[in-house]
Amino acid sequence: MFQLKSGVAENRRASTRSNGSGDAHPFVQDRLLTDAGGRREPMLKLQAWLADYWVIGAGFMAASLMAAAPILSLPLPVFLIFLHSPFYMIHQVEEHTGDRFRKFANNHVFGGRDALTVASVLVINLPFVWGINLLALYAAFLWGPTLGLVAPYIMIVNALAHLVTSARLRKYNPGLVTSVLLFMPLSVATIWTIGWTEGLVPHLIGAALAIFLHMAIIAVVAARYRSLVAAS
């Protein structure tokens, strides 16, 4: 709890600091625009509130979902897909408490530039991760487990990204521990349990979607990095 509270305070302090490019933090830039135009203030307030509290919310949601898990009556493959949501939220607590993954990526991958923004972290982790896991669960429940395969494949790709980054930089990166202890066992067990009764195609589609979504994120962040380099 102390770490989570510290993360909230750190996020607030981060909103007033400059990034590696020498420009004001995105929240500061947006507030300056808001002062001039007065139109974006409600959205910026929501974004700032989410940045401060979403990790705490993820921790409480993960605990609630895990507490409810024993009373759920679901086929085993669907139940395993259900577990992807709380496991991913636990991973997010390790990864993003104190805004540490964003800081790690910007400092060690992007040369101190603010390539991965606060807004990007929110979009990736809330509508992207939570939304896809929820859609995968409903698809598996309504139409069969193979339609939820994107969830375990996203988990595997994310875990491998953490492992490769750690090996390349020869240091811990935020999210590594839960990638090894939670992501790899759950994703492999889910894929194994769903099996291959409907052939290879559903697995290829799930894996392709997972890779595409990760590549899209990398492309967006890399484009921002190139623009910051060009402007410096």
106-132 pLDDT, tens digit per residue, is 999 999 999 999 999 999 999 999 999
Residues 33 and 122 sit within 8 Å (Cβ to Cβ)? no
Full-model pTM = 0.82
Q: Which tokens go with 211?
A: 């890779």
pLDDT band, very low/low/confident/very high, at 27 (cuts 50, 70, 90):
very low
SS3 of residue 171 by DSSP? coil
Residue ranges in 97-200 assigned as alpha helix (H): 100-108, 118-123, 131-143, 150-169, 176-178, 184-194
pLDDT of residue 44: 85
